[in-house]
Amino acid sequence: MFLINCPYCGERDQQEFKAGGEAHIERPKQPTELSDDEWAEYLFMRKNIKGVQFERWNHAHGCRKWFNMARDTSNDEIKAIYKIGEKPPTQ
């Protein structure tokens, strides 16, 4: 059970949160211009890597805000938490 530091509320138990999958996948601005393959890339393809992964999380039972998390999927270490729109940390 993680202890997640919501950027708006502070440290809360994981059960207040909802995971939202891989982060930094921007919805194409002009979907109609895309080929089937390009659209499928956006729609279906996710990296699911072992190691540091950037993820979306939502404080569903709190402030309801979405934010991003850099999490090491191999040991569940939360490396960083940052707001939507902010760039992922490089380290």
Residues that bind other proteins (CB under 8 A): 1-3, 13, 18, 20, 26-28, 30-32, 34, 36, 39-40, 43, 56, 58, 60, 64-66, 75-76, 84-85
What is the spatial distance between Cα 59 and Cα 84, in angstroms, rounded to a whole number? 13
Site for Zn ion contains 69 (CB under 5 A):
no
Give the residue with the Cβ less far from Zn ion, 62 or 88.
Answer: 62
Report the residue count for the chain: 91
Euclidean distance between CA atoms 43 and 87, whole angstroms: 22
Nearer to Zn ion by Cβ, of 8 and 42: the residue is 8
The Cα 30–Cα 89 span in angstroms is 28
